[in-house]
């Protein structure tokens, strides 16, 4: 059975240049906006079944006045033909409280949400609407550029939040949710977005109940699914198969929040819109690429989950691999989601399956002692380093080194591109025997303190010939003082608008798991014990040996970072 979703013969547009979403299964109606003065305007265009416009409606301003809203059930403003209902399943959990609700409020605060929207929380916890609002209000913050209407906006947003308690496997409870959704939607055409902020073992139950009892009958229905997407190729394929009993691929939005990070999204802009970089983006000029993720804290209560998945599944197979594909892909035909995802899949299918000898594992001392949710004899790695290779003309022979770990000396996520040495370098004697000090390096710091900097060789002012390694630095907080949106804000907005570019397609997921599953299976069958490393250190020594094996020095350990 599939989602009971009947699309209305309606599409919307802001202007003639906006992309129209038809009422087909591939793309659904969405609202797009343009700015006029201090108000956000939307122009609706209603199409007949054959796509021809029937009648143009006037521009409708979205009022920002608190007088238009009540801290009550009815908060409609203006005249609109559709509503958006966002249901956060697992509303009482940490992810919902710390990330999803604050991201939705930020979108509302910046006027990115459509006029008639509601936010519904669904969880097993017994709670009233007012209790949900109190819970949410403790995590909401306004932007750095605080406006005078911040508290007013917050109250208006909370007035649009409602709650429905129920079991995740109960069709009856989801039918009650549907009744409440319809009551708030007021008979208008409804678009519904479900965010599954729940453990993966109950994904299918929730999707089944929502599809049978709470999907939209007049608009689109979409579901955002959080990682992990299985533990290996087999479990991932089984999850996809089960979800597709009730959803089409176009309705499934597999979220990897790292794809919503500002520097990750800027990666393709940096490469494809700057002539200086694209000619260098190949094996001819790049010696190695490093994708580094480190946290300066341990599992902190997530040990039970982490012990079941480990650092490779939790970070490498998704976050870092997704960044790698964006970095290494060929120029897509267009910025259309399918064109970009096609190129990412090509990269994954060109990669050599990861071998155990190209992986180093570590576990910080005290992992099983400090966290009571971790078994005493756990050998789950909290650190891993791996060398991957892409077998195509552009990247043949270039090592892509990944490194991810917990309880390390610093918190960071970055991409480091080390270029080849200058052949016949005239100033070789000024660097001595350590040619790595003369290597140009491009660094994209994803977090914290977002930055892009290029390490170059430069003459130190003076009468002598002394060279120095200096940085050409773009520090985001200095260049762009406005606060950078959280990744969840961008991804939620994309899901609402039907933009799939930053979400993971099923064949992309299959290809990603195919790279890691054989190694993970061998790792668990042989029960390989990870190398211990002290809490707060730079990780196990084995990571240095792995890098040296491929004639690489980790860039984050050089001691001269910006």
Please state, in angstroms and rounded to a whole number, the distance separating the CA atoms of residues 398 and 404: 20
CA distances to 18, 342, 420, 493 from 26, in Å: 17, 16, 44, 18
Residue 32 annotated in active site:
no
Nearest to 398 by CA among 355, 436, 350: 350
Please state, in angstroms and rounded to a whole number, the distance separating the CA atoms of residues 226 and 337: 19
Bridge-based pairing of strands 60-61 and 39-42 is antiparallel
The HSE-up count of residue 291 (CA atoms within 13 Å, CB side) is 24
The HSE-up count of residue 286 (CA atoms within 13 Å, CB side) is 24
**Helices 203-213 and 233-243 sit at what angle, rounded to 10 degrees?**
10
Please state, in angstroms and rounded to a whole number, the distance separating the CA atoms of residues 531 and 537: 13
Bridge-based pairing of strands 34-36 and 467-475 is unpaired
Which DSSP letter does residue 98 get? I
Nearest to 163 by CA among 249, 90, 238: 90
Q: Is 440 helix (H, G, I), strand (E, B) or coil?
A: coil
Asked if residue 166 lies in contact with residue 176, where contact means CB atoms within 8 angstroms, the answer is yes
Please state, in angstroms and rounded to a whole number, the distance separating the CA atoms of residues 504 and 500: 8
Nearest to 249 by CA among 506, 525, 67, 14: 506
Calculate the CA 161 to chain-centre distance.
24
Q: Is 462 helix (H, G, I), strand (E, B) or coil?
A: coil
Cβ neighbourhood burial of 203 (10 Å; 0-12, 13-18, 19+): buried
CA-derived radius of gyration, the chain: 25
CA distances to 43, 121, 130, 501 from 32, in Å: 8, 25, 32, 17
Which DSSP letter does residue 390 get? B
Instruction: Kindly report the number of other CB atoms within 10 A of residue 506's CB atom.
Output: 18
- For residue 387, the cross-strand partners are 401
**Helices 203-213 and 171-185 sit at what angle, rounded to 10 degrees?**
50
Which of 81, 257, 319, 550 is catalytic? The answer is 319
Annotated active-site positions, please? 319
């Amino acid at each position: 059975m599939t989602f009971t979703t009947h699309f209305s013969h309606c599409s919307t547009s802001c202007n003639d240049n906006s992309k129209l979403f038809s009422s087909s299964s591939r793309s659904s109606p969405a609202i797009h906006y343009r700015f006029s003065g201090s108000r956000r305007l939307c122009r609706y265009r209603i199409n007949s079944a054959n796509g021809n416009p029937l009648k143009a409606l006037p521009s409708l301003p979205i009022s920002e006045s608190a007088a238009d809203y009540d801290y009550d059930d009815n908060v409609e403003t203006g005249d609109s033909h559709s509503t958006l209902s966002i249901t956060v399943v697992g509303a009482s959990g940490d992810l919902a409280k710390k990330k999803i609700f604050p991201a939705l409020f930020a979108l509302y605060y910046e006027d990115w949400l459509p006029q008639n929207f509601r936010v519904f929380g669904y969880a097993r916890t017994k709670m009233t609407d007012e209790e949900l609002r109190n819970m949410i209000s403790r995590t909401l913050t306004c932007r750095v550029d605080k406006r005078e209407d911040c508290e007013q906006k917050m109250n208006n947003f909370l007035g649009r939040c409602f709650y429905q308690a129920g079991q995740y496997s109960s069709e009856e409870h989801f039918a009650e949710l549907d009744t409440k959704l319809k009551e708030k939607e007021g008979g208008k055409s409804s678009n519904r977005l479900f965010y599954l902020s729940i453990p993966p073992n109950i994904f299918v139950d929730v999707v089944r109940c929502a599809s049978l009892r709470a999907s939209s009958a007049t608009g689109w229905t979409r579901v955002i699914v959080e990682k992990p997407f299985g533990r290996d190729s087999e479990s991932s394929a089984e999850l996809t198969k089960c979800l597709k009993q009730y959803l089409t691929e176009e309705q499934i939005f597999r979220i990897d929040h790292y794809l919503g990070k500002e520097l990750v999204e800027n990666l393709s802009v940096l490469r494809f819109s700057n002539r200086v970089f694209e000619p260098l983006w190949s094996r001819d000029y790049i010696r190695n690429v490093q994708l580094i993720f480190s946290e300066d804290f341990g599992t902190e209560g997530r040990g039970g989950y982490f012990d079941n998945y480990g650092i490779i599944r939790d970070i490498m197979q998704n976050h870092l691999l997704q960044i790698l594909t964006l970095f290494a892909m060929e120029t897509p035909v267009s910025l259309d989601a399918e064109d970009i995802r096609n190129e990412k899949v090509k990269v994954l299918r060109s990669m050599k399956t990861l071998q155990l000898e190209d992986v180093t594992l570590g576990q910080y001392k005290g992992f099983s002692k400090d966290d009571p949710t971790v078994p005493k004899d756990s050998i789950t790695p909290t650190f891993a380093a791996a060398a991957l290779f892409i077998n195509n003309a552009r990247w043949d022979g270039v090592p892509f080194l990944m490194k991810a770990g917990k309880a390390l000396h610093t918190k960071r996520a970055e991409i480091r591109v080390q270029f080849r040495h200058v052949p016949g370098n005239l100033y070789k004697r000024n660097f001595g025997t350590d040619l790595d000090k003369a290597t140009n390096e491009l660094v994209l710091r994803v977090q914290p303190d977002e930055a892009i900097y290029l390490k170059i060789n430069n003459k130190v002012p003076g009468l002598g010939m002394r060279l120095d390694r200096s940085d050409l630095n773009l520090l985001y907080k200095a260049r762009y003082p406005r606060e950078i949106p959280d990744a969840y804000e961008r991804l939620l907005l994309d899901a609402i608008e039907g933009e799939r570019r930053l979400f993971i397609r099923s064949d992309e997921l299959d290809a990603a798991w195919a790279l890691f599953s054989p190694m993970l299976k061998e790792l668990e069958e042989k029960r390989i014990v990870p190398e211990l490393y002290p809490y707060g250190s730079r990780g196990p020594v084995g990571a240095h040996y792995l890098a040296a094996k491929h004639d690489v020095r980790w860039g984050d350990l050089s001691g001269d970072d910006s």
